[in-house]
Amino acid sequence: MTSAGRPLALTLVPLRESDLSAGSPVLAELTGLYAGNAAYHRLSGEFGPRPEAVLPGQVAAALREEAAVPGAEVLLARQGPDGPIVGLAALLAEHPQDGHPWIGLLMVSAALHRTGYGRALAHAVEDRLRGEGRPAVRLAVLENNPGASAFWGALGYREIDRRRDRQAGRPCAVMHKEL
């Protein structure tokens, strides 16, 4: 919901390989999205010491890596059907260890933090999974990111485990929500 009480209109669109080609306007928008979230990338250790200066090729490589995992999908969140990209979500249809769908990444434009877009994007992802008949969803939050833990907790996710992530071995809290 917006501050005026109206629901935010988000459209989820699958990322296409052509979106990641050099000179693509979508890649330019995604590079701005990643650069604006430099604080998160500092916590995660991604994109070196200056993540605010991330390059389009680095963003394209990171998103290709996300999408290359079997059962993974990257969804762009647009403000309405033809509006600007306001965020993205990387999903895994089924985690190999527990069979649940996972949200691997949920990122919203830094200019829109604390305006309801993160919540709207999370709800849109949950609605999509619910529509597929999925009974629950999981995600991992970096232990050094208490703001993310609070965000997901406020959305009804509860911590069920602590372990290192599979990609980089970073300490994480695993969170679960029944849909």
Give the domain range for residue 139: 10-178
Q: Is residue 25 part of a domain?
A: yes
Q: Is residue 5 part of a domain?
A: no
Q: Is residue 45 part of a domain?
A: yes
Element (H, E) at 137: strand 136-142
Model confidence at 174, pLDDT cuts 50, 70, 90, reads: very high
Residue-level pLDDT at 3: 44
Model confidence at 169, pLDDT cuts 50, 70, 90, reads: confident
From the list 109, 106, 79, the residue with the least C-alpha distance to 90 is: 106
- Residue 132, judged by CB atoms within 10 A of its CB (0-12, 13-18, 19+), counts as exposed
Report the CATH number at residue 134.
Answer: 3.40.630.30
- Which pTM was predicted? 0.91
Domains identified in the chain, total number: 1
Residue-level pLDDT at 41: 87
Both ends of the chain: CA-CA distance in Å? 20
- The mean pLDDT value for 58-81 works out to 95
Q: Which residue reads 């208490």 in tokens? A: 146
Q: How many CB atoms lie within 10 A of CB 63?
A: 22
Q: Is residue 96 part of a domain?
A: yes
Q: Tens digit of pLDDT for each residue in 16-39?
A: 999 999 999 999 999 999 999 998
Using DSSP's 3-state secondary structure scheme, residue 84 falls into coil
pLDDT exceeds 70 at position 121: yes
